[in-house]
């Protein structure tokens, strides 16, 4: 080997090593999909499992019961067999189990019955969790505030304690659509019982609740047993700030740091991508009426940290599928693109 070739080879090897180190995935971190990321497809559970397998993902989180065609043993066993054959771990969930929330729907019976059905299905499918949530930010402005709904949710969870413990399933509560801040969800989990209840962490919803995602992770990470993750862009405007969720790696969250800390605080829990992108949410915090759902929060260090977060971004365009016969296909293509760029980013750069 001559000197010139040696130097070229050495330089290439050094660059390759640096690139591999920069793109090293957090050891042991599983990556998956929350089915809601590609909701426009209208797929049922089997198709979501097939899609997750085609992307070579570790998990498929079917986070709503409506995606299942049946709850009969044979059907659920068939889904589990399909997932096992593909090497995909299933996680499942339902929507609100809070009967006082504006989001509650009695599709599967009472809140207690809905959660019980989810726990039983989780057992059949091999899911370690049965995920649910309280509601959304509108619940904060209702009579009694968010605390009334927290107490109602705790009651429903406790009614299912013996079932969850008997089946070996943990109940995962999501911080959903700005309903609870991290300290409130932490208090709910502790009041219900940490032995069988944990958090389904969502950093995008944290931003809607005026929490900086890394700070939010520090509070809920040790309680996290499931996840639904996306990135967020934010920017200032004359009334406060604007938030737009994005594909991972295209917003303000340092997901390399987030993934590393997530793995430390919640070892063995997958990062499951739930991209819900393309629209902007105004957060008009400079207006007094904005603060009704968040009494006392304006003077906190947590809010100031969130404001600093929103100052770092820039406006980005929203997405609207063109009207016409190709609208649905355009929505599906957009959602798949957001999801697939996110999982690729996590694999290469987390």
* pLDDT at 350 (0 to 100): 87
pLDDT (average), residues 10-24: 38
β 231-237/240-246 pair status = antiparallel
Predicted confidence (pLDDT) at residue 100 exceeds the cutoff of 70: yes
User: Region 289-307: what's the mean pLDDT?
Assistant: 97
| Beta strands 197-201; 224-227: pairing state | parallel
What was the pLDDT predicted at 25? Answer: 67
Give the mean model confidence (pLDDT) for residues 40-68: 98
Specify burial of residue 298 (Cβ count, 10 A radius: 0-12, 13-18, 19+): middle
The CA distances from residue 212 to 124, 209, 222, 254, in Å, are 37, 9, 17, 11
Average pLDDT over residues 287-314: 97
pTM over 0.85: yes
Structure tokens that stand for 66 in this block = 């409506």
For residue 3, name the pLDDT band (cuts at 50, 70, 90): very low
């Amino acid at each position: 080997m001559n000197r010139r070739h040696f130097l070229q080879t050495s330089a290439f090897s050094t660059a390759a090593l640096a690139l591999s180190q920069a793109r090293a995935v957090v050891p042991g971190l599983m990556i998956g999909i929350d089915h809601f990321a590609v909701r426009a497809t209208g797929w049922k559970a089997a198709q979501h499992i097939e899609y997750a397998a085609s992307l070579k993902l570790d998990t498929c989180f079917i986070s709503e019961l409506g995606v299942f065609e049946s709850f009969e043993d044979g059907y659920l066993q068939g889904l589990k067999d399909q997932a096992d054959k593909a090497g995909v771990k299933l996680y499942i969930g339902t929507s609100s189990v809070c009967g006082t929330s504006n989001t509650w729907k009695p599709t599967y019976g009472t809140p207690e019955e809905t959660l019980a059905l989810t726990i039983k299905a989780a057992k059949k499918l091999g899911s370690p969790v049965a995920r649910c949530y309280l509601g959304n930010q509108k619940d904060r402005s209702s009579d009694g505030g968010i605390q009334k709904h927290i107490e109602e949710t705790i009651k429903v969870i406790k009614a299912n304690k013996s079932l969850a413990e008997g089946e070996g399933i943990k109940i995962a509560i999501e911080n959903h659509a700005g309903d609870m801040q991290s300290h409130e969800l932490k208090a709910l989990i502790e009041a219900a019982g940490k032995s069988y209840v944990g958090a389904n962490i969502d950093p995008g919803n944290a931003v809607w609740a005026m929490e900086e995602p890394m700070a939010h992770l520090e509070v809920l990470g040790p309680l996290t047993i499931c996840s639904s993750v996306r990135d967020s862009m934010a920017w200032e405007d004359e009334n406060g700030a604007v938030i737009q969720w994005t594909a991972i790696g295209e917003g303000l969250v340092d997901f390399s740091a987030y993934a590393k800390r997530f793995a430390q605080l919640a070892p063995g829990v997958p990062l499951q991508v739930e991209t819900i992108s393309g629209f902007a949410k105004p957060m008009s915090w400079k207006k007094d009426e904005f603060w009704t759902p968040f009494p006392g929060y304006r003077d906190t260090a947590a809010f100031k940290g969130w404001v600093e977060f929103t100052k770092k971004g820039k406006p980005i365009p929203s997405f609207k599928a063109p009207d016409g016969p190709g609208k649905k296909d355009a929505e599906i293509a957009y959602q798949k693109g957001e999801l697939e760029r996110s999982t690729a980013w996590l694999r290469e750069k987390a």
